Amino acid sequence: MQTGETVTIVRGEQELTERTAHLFASATDVACAANDLFTWSRAQTDEINETYRARLRGQARIRKVYRSGIMLDPVSTRAVAEIRDQHGAQVRITSDEINETIILDRRLVILAGDVSAGVRSYSVITQREAVQGVTSLFDAAWRSATDLDVYDAQTAEIRQLAPQVLDLLSQGVKDEAAARSLGLGVRTYRRRVAELMDALGAESRFQAGVRARELGLV
């Protein structure tokens, strides 16, 4: 563990649990930004999960922003809906880049770091100005994000087509042939590819493939 005046770097889920479980237990305002369902679920051991679920049951305001690529996987889509329906969390979706973050009571920030030798590092920050800055970034992402139900409806069709489209893109199939194989017009196919790229936050078809692999979609 490395400790600064108001920033503590912890390594691994156990150490994070030891330092933050009591904070989750007392929090009344929790904000979370995540690219997927794995970073924070790995970080939360049984102890954190128990206290966190208690806060979710109507005792705290919970806001969660997820990266849009998560909505391309039916299993993840259902899991996100369960987080909202079973625990009362407010959930929004964004296609913008986000830093994986948890903010507790606007007084403490946990930032997910890199994974080294299979162990993720986390920064636990209490420095007031830094916390305010991260909170402002989260609030901006929250305001610009789309409500879960709205985004789900917008991406329902491309979610069904995503595995086939990603497979065709990975094979380098030309648009005309790919469109025919899916029973679509070329313009419709290209529009679906553009929608898929947007959901993945990708600027190119190659980048879309990389991002899809990161999310386990291919």
Domain count of the fold of the chain = 2
Strand partners, 110: 102, 124
- 111 backbone dihedrals φ, ψ, rounded to 5°: -110, 130
Range of the domain at 167: 150-214
Q: Are 174 and 77 part of one and the same domain?
A: no
Whether 139 and 156 map to the same domain: the answer is: no
Of 86, 116, 144, the last residue of a domain is 144
Query: Counting every residue, how long is the chain?
Result: 218
Q: Same domain, yes or no, for 23 and 129?
A: yes
Are residues 192 and 88 part of one domain? Answer: no
- Mark whether 18 and 51 lie in a shared domain: yes
**Does residue 98 carry a pLDDT above 60?**
yes
> What digits encode the pLDDT tens for the residues 38-61?
888 655 544 445 555 555 555 788
pLDDT one-digit tens code per residue, 162-189: 888 888 888 888 999 999 988 889 999 8
Last residue of a domain, one of 144, 171, 195: 144
The enclosing H or E element of 79 equals: helix 74-87
CATH number at residue 184: 1.10.10.10
In the predicted structure, residue 77 carries a pLDDT above the cut 60: yes
Q: Give the amino acid at 72.
A: L
**Residues 183 and 135 both lie in one domain:** no
